[in-house]
């Protein structure tokens, strides 16, 4: 890794839209005053019983746009309005829109209509927003469970640092919906009151909804701040351990944090605070406490802002990053609301109260279903050194596997499972999308068996499709369609995240490196492979599997390649 020839990545502007504010200042003032968005929500359209959550009320709905589209457009406008001098036409040509979400406008799937509403497709929402602002580049959608927001920032910073684009508009957005609430409830992971991360009395997560927008750039003139914040580096990893529970050792998250420190060209002691995922579930918080120690950051202050906004899924990494920027600029370190006594096995430095403190650098982390983890480091330009970004590498294709058809998927995939002599009985419990990707990677690795010398943390996965996890989404809606929210199945819901196919592959083949799932328009399929390989080329991986993995009903389409660096 070398630092010459890379572009510095500046944080140019940002905006938050949540239940406690229409913009960043309103949100930050509320948090400064210890005001939380979490309330008791009694709304049978979301869940059959009253529950604690952070919900946005009182919006005007007289618009041709969906709620998610409207909120996103509103927030992008707010962010663009505070930029410095820039050429509008040049910006529209050079700005890459990256949309970060877990489920997007998934509520439109619950209409019961035979024809699926286009708004269900994540790429549709991204294109609507890009078209509204006349952005010329094809938008990217990152749907990687709860790390989506941080993952999107890492992706954007690499694209800018490598010269792929000059600017990036990152949108993190998700809704509080019956689809999501019933799914998390099936895991018995929703709290009985407002969540209390890391506290001995915590009993689960609290869901929320929000939109966050961050504009990144390599053009200093666009940035209005005297001493702007920069993205110093980031990384993504996989536990390769379990689909719905984090590694009990914390090694996966620790790896992402340590690699971020290395890419940033700093030492662990240079970090002033950790804005952690902090969901307040038993296992997540335990894992994070261990990861913080493994990464050599046990002496660094830790905070979770979930008690203010709830867990906003794909928006969380974006809005919580924005809170990091604000704290750094205002020399205020927010406390973790409600925290009084530690309830995690490894002692970490958490406080319930805010503190006035000079802050120059922080690390933001996230973890999610499918065993994925992400971390990114932010610092003031005046203290940042030369980030050791990886030079873009070239890939040598070792093997390729394609499998497609319009019917008889189940017979076909069973036959391939026999051909692979796969004795893993878990295969039969997977959803169809995971079976498709899983068999494809087994075939690639069987055809090319010289991969064992490459460390697990240097093996990555970069997949894309157009339907996300639609097949499992439909199954989840069918399970709760009778009106009984308690019939949701955790074994179905976990597969309503498209990146879970990557998790299955990582567990089977011990891929512990970067893993990202992108969602494209069908018309962009031909260019998707090039986009995936470019993103992978900046990741520091030495061996990757990348390509297209899509399934709708009995129609399946797999085209993936095994690539080695150099």
Per-residue pLDDT of 94-135, as tens digits, reads: 999 999 999 999 999 987 667 888 999 999 999 999 999 999
Q: What are phi and psi of 168, to 5 degrees?
A: -140, 135
- pLDDT score at 2: 32
**pLDDT of 3 above 70:** no
Which of 68-77, 111-120, 360-369, 487-496 has the lowest average pLDDT? 111-120
**Which range has highest mean pLDDT (8-17, 104-113, 519-528)?**
8-17
- pLDDT score at 423: 87
- pLDDT score at 62: 65
For 476-485, give one letter per residue: b (16+ CB within 10 A) or e. bbebbeeeeb
Mean pLDDT of 279-284: 94
How far is it, in rounded angstroms, from Cα 55 to Cα 467? 27
User: How many CB atoms within 10 Å of residue 450?
Assistant: 10
Per-residue pLDDT of 477-488, as tens digits, reads: 999 986 788 889
Query: Cα(first)–Cα(last) distance of the chain, in Å?
Result: 14
- pLDDT score at 170: 98
- pLDDT score at 386: 72
Angle at CA of residue 501, ends 500 and 502, nearest 5°:
85
DSSP class per residue in 427-464: GGGS-HHHHHHHHHHHHHHHH----TTS-GGGEEEEEE
How far is it, in rounded angstroms, from Cα 271 to Cα 30? 26
For 365-391, give one letter per residue: b (16+ CB within 10 A) or e. bbbbbbbbbbbbbbbbbeebeebbbbe
How far is it, in rounded angstroms, from Cα 298 to Cα 251? 14
**pLDDT of 59 above 80:** no
Per-residue pLDDT of 222-236, as tens digits, reads: 999 999 999 999 999
Q: What are phi and psi of 529, to 5 degrees?
A: -60, -45
Q: What are phi and psi of 318, to 5 degrees?
A: -80, -50
- Return the percentage of the chain with pLDDT > 70, whole number: 98
**Mean per-residue pLDDT over the chain, rounded:** 93
Mean pLDDT of 3-27: 87
**pLDDT of 5 above 60:** no
Q: pTM of the full predicted structure?
A: 0.95
More confident residue, 392 or 397: 397
CATH 3.40.50.2300, domain 395-565, yes or no: no
Which of 177-191, 258-272, 297-311, 446-460 has the lowest average pLDDT? 446-460
374: which strand partners?
236, 366
- pLDDT score at 60: 66
Q: What are phi and psi of 378, to 5 degrees?
A: -115, 145
User: How many CB atoms within 10 Å of residue 351?
Assistant: 15
More confident residue, 84 or 6: 84
* 143, 463 Cβ separation under 8 angstroms: no
Per-residue pLDDT of 426-455, as tens digits, reads: 899 999 999 999 999 999 998 877 777 899
pLDDT classification of 28: cutoffs 50, 70, 90: very high
Of 326, 335, 458, the closest CA to residue 25 belongs to: 326
**pLDDT of 4 above 70:** no
- How many Å is the Cα radius of gyration of the chain? 22
**pLDDT of 349 above 70:** yes
DSSP label at residue 401: E
* Fold of the CATH domain 10-380: Peroxisomal Thiolase; Chain A, domain 1 (3.40.47)
What stretch(es) of the chain map to CATH 3.40.47.10?
10-380, 395-565
Q: What are phi and psi of 376, to 5 degrees?
A: -145, 145
Angle at CA of residue 516, ends 463 and 465, nearest 5°:
35
pLDDT classification of 1: cutoffs 50, 70, 90: very low
């Amino acid at each position: 890794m070398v630092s010459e020839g890379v572009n510095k990545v500046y944080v140019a502007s940002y905006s938050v839209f949540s239940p406690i504010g229409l913009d960043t200042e309103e949100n930050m003032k509320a948090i400064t005053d210890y005001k939380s968005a979490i309330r008791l929500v009694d709304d049978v359209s979301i869940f059959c019983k009253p529950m604690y959550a952070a919900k946005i009320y009182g919006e005007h709905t007289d618009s041709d746009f969906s709620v998610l589209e409207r909120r996103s457009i509103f927030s992008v406008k707010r962010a663009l309005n505070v930029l410095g001098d820039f050429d509008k036409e040049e910006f529209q040509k050079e700005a890459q829109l990256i949309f970060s979400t877990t489920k997007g406008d998934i509520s439109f799937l619950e209409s019961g209509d035979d024809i699926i509403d286009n708004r269900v497709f994540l790429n549709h929402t991204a294109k609507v927003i890009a078209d509204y602002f006349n952005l010329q580049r094809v938008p990217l959608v990152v749907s990687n469970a709860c790390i989506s927001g941080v993952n999107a920032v890492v992706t954007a910073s690499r694209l800018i640092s490598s010269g792929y684009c000059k600017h990036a508009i990152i949108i993190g957005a998700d809704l509080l919906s019956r689809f999501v609430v019933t799914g998390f409830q099936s895991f018995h992971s929703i709290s009985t009151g407002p969540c209390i991360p890391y506290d001995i009395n915590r009993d689960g997560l609290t869901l929320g909804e929000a939109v966050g927008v961050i504009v990144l750039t390599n053009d200093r003139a666009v940035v209005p701040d005297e001493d702007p914040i920069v993205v110093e580096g980031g990384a993504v990893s996989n536990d390769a351990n379990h689909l719905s529970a984090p590694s009990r050792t914390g090694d996966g998250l620790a790896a992402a944090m340590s690699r971020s420190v290395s890419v940033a060209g700093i030492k662990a002691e240079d970090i002033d605070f950790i804005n952690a995922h902090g969901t307040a579930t038993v296992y997540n918080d335990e894992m994070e406490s261990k990861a913080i120690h493994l990464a050599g950051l046990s002496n660094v202050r830790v905070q979770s802002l979930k008690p203010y906004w709830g867990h906003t899924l794909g928006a969380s990494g974006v809005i919580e990053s924005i809170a990091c920027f604000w704290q750094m600029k205002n020399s205020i370190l927010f406390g973790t609301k409600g925290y009084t006594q530690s309830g995690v096995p490894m002692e970490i430095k958490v406080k319930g109260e805010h503190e006035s403190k000079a802050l120059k650098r922080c690390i933001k982390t996230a973890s999610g279903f499918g065993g994925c983890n992400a971390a990114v480091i932010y610092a003031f330009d005046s203290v940042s050194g030369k980030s050791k970004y990886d030079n873009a590498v070239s890939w040598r294709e070792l093997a390729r596997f394609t499998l497609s058809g319009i019917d008889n998927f189940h017979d076909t995939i069973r036959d391939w499972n026999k051909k692979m002599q796969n004795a893993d009985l878990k295969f039969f419990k997977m959803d169809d999308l995971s079976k498709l990707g899983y068999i494809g990677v087994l075939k690639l690795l069987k055809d090319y068996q010289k991969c064992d010398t490459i460390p697990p943390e240097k093996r990555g996965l970069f997949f894309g499709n157009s339907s996300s996890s639609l097949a499992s989404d439909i199954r989840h809606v069918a399970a709760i369609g009778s009106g009984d929210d308690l019939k949701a199945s955790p074994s179905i819901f976990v597969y309503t995240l498209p990146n879970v196919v990557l998790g299955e592959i990582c567990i089977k083949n011990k891929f512990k490196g970067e893993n990202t799932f992108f969602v494209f328009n069908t018309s962009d399929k031909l260019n998707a492979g090039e986009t995936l390989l470019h993103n992978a080329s900046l990741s520091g991986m030495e061996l990757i599997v990348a390509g297209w993995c899509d399934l709708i009903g009995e129609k399946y389409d797999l085209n993936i390649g095994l690539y080695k660096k150099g």
